């Protein structure tokens, strides 16, 4: 491990130790919250005691046993008091062991190092300002993390919600949801229905927040959904899955779109392969499914983690959202043409060099042509089409592009404004990698305020021009590290779409 990586790892270890797993001090009655289902005992957030934290809140029953690969089950009431002093376990992660920019230089973007994993992971976390006035209800920002639908979770230091909550006087909620084979099994036994329990988890979490967030000082009539990468794709997919009942009042889609990735395995062969490796070789699809529900979860993920495509004729093994035409669709262009999406204000944001940290890792830097093509495929072109569909149907919509390249956030000179580099700017956490520049802090404060303004009033909280491909409406953030917002022609980067 080099000096740079060693020092970064040390910083994370120190920050984790300083945060610890706090316990609730006596005399803080505002830290015990009673919901209609149960009580939650929170704590003052470490190093930011003006914020209350309530973690490890179950929004559904554990998805284990016969509940594995089924839609989330509504959490039943109980007399328990949830220990909300820290995050609950993250959902089981996929890890092939391959080197990436994130494993080598940007540890912590997916999860806090050492974070516990479990199949019993359907929990969410709430950060809320301590000084909420009596009867005051704050806007609620519900975060969906990224990680390729295979990994990641709410417990990531770059995405802790305390600074956003305190600085912008909002309630921040972050959820876990099922990942990889546990979230997207595409098993033949499901007969094409409810193929994506991980996406259904997200809806269940939003429903839980709507029902319960008032008890934490949030306003359930002013909620937005925002997410990045796979989380951005999920937010956009949500708009098509619940066109008439989105619950939330606005969407922010970062570095992704519903049409930015597709996964087809019509026969469920990936699930069948894993089943064959763990002793579930039944020819009857329902018997095989029931057998798989009884296999230890860590045995299942171990098969996936250790799969070698080269040893299997180059055949890939993947578990991603599949088209069940409930939560994920095969015909997004048709839905866009007919306006079959939630018609509420939407922001589409991307970074300028998405692909640099996503294409195959090469220490000297990847081919920029490949990087540009990846950037177009994951964000630029899918977001352009999605934004135009909203504009066509009169939905308030904005497009932004982030260009920031800060010394403390760019460990490699060729990264540029890489995929995920806007996350710390929104959450105010870019100083985790060392002190930022004055301009960096100004841009971060501005981006936080813009996201919060949208949460407070999605219709008119932003003072940016609404998206028009022919007008000067593309919002350029941190262009050349400038603190001034700039505007370019709406379709400036869409030429090869």
**What would the two tokens of residue 236 be?**
């956009």
**Residue 51 β-bridge partners:** 129
Pinpoint the alpha helices (H) of 368-430: 368-375, 381-392, 423-427
CA dihedral 212, 214, 220, 223 (to 10 degrees): -90
Residue 292 CB-half CA count within 13 A: 29
Q: Find the helix or strand (DSSP H, E) in which 272 lies.
A: helix 269-277
Rounded to 10 deg, the angle between the 269-277 and 285-293 helix axes is 60
**In this structure, are residues 173 and 247 in contact, taking their beta carbons and an 8 Å threshold?**
no
**In this structure, are residues 170 and 455 in contact, taking their beta carbons and an 8 Å threshold?**
yes
Pairing outcome for strands 123-129 and 171-175: antiparallel
Neighbours of 491 (CB within 10 A): 20
Neighbours of 410 (CB within 10 A): 18
Alpha carbon distance 417, 227 (integer Å): 18
Active site residue 104: no
Active site residue 145: no
**Residue 144 β-bridge partners:** 175, 227
**Residue 175 β-bridge partners:** 124, 144
Catalytic residue among 151, 419, 430, 476: 419
Catalytic residue among 85, 90, 156, 229: 229
Q: What is the DSSP letter of 2?
A: -
Alpha carbon distance 402, 349 (integer Å): 8
Active site residue 354: yes
C-alpha distance from residue 350 to each of 57, 319, 375, 385, 458 (Å): 31, 25, 9, 14, 19
**In this structure, are residues 207 and 175 in contact, taking their beta carbons and an 8 Å threshold?**
no
Alpha carbon distance 349, 328 (integer Å): 21
Torsional sign, CA 92, 98, 102, 106: positive
Catalytic residue among 354, 405, 440, 476: 354
Helices (H) then strands (E): counts for the chain = 14, 16
Active-site positions? Answer: 229, 354, 419
């Amino acid at each position: 491990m080099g000096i740079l990586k060693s020092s970064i790892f040390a910083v994370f270890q120190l920050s984790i130790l300083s945060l610890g797993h706090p316990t609730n001090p006596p005399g803080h009655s505002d830290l015990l919250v009673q919901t209609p289902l149960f009580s939650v005992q929170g704590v003052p957030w470490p190093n930011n005691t003006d914020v209350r934290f309530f973690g490890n809140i179950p929004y559904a029953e554990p998805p284990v046993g016969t509940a594995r690969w089924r839609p989330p089950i509504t959490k039943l009431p109980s007399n328990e008091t949830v220990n909300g002093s820290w995050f609950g376990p993250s959902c089981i992660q996929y890890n092939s062991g391959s080197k990436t920019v994130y494993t080598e230089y940007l540890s912590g973007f997916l999860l806090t190092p050492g974070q516990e994993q479990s199949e019993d992971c359907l929990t969410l976390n709430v950060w809320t300002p301590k000084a909420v006035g009596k009867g005051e209800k704050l806007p609620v920002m519900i975060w969906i993390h990224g990680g390729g639908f295979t990994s990641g979770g709410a417990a990531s230091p770059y995405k802790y919600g305390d600074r956003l909550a305190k600085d912008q006087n909002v309630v921040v909620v972050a959820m876990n949801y099922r990942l990889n084979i546990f979230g997207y099994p595409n098993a033949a036994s499901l007969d094409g229905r409810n193929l994506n329990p991980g996406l259904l988890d997200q809806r269940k979490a939003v429903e839980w927040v709507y029902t319960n967030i008032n008890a934490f000082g949030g306003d359930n009539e002013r909620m937005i959904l925002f997410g990045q990468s796979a989380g951005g794709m999920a937010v956009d997919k949500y708009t098509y899955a619940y066109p008439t009942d989105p619950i939330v009042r606005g969407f922010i889609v970062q570095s992704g779109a519903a049409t930015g990735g597709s996964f087809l395995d019509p026969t469920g062969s990936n699930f069948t392969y894993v089943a064959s490796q763990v002793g579930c070789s039944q020819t009857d699809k329902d018997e095989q499914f029931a057998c798989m529900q009884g296999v230890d979860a860590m045995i299942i993920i171990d098969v996936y983690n250790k799969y070698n495509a080269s040893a299997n004729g180059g055949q890939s093994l993947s578990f991603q959202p599949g088209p069940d035409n409930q939560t994920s669709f095969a015909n997004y262009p048709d839905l866009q043409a007919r306006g079959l999406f939630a018609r509420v204000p939407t922001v589409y944001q991307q970074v300028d060099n998405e692909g640099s940290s996503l294409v195959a890792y090469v220490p000297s830097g990847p081919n920029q042509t490949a990087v540009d093509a990846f950037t177009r495929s994951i964000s630029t072109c899918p977001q352009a089409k999605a934004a135009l569909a909203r504009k066509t149907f009169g939905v308030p919509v904005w497009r932004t592009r982030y260009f920031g390249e800060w010394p403390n956030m760019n460990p490699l000179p060729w990264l540029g404004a890489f995929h995920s580099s806007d996350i710390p700017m929104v959450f105010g956490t870019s100083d985790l990698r060392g002190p930022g520049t004055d301009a960096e802090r100004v841009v971060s404060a501005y981006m936080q305020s813009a996201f919060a303004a949208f949460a407070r009033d999605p219709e008119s909280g932003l003072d940016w021009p609404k998206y028009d491909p022919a007008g000067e409406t593309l919002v350029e953030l941190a262009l050349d590290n400038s603190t001034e917002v700039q505007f370019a022609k709406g379709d400036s980067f869409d030429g090869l779409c």
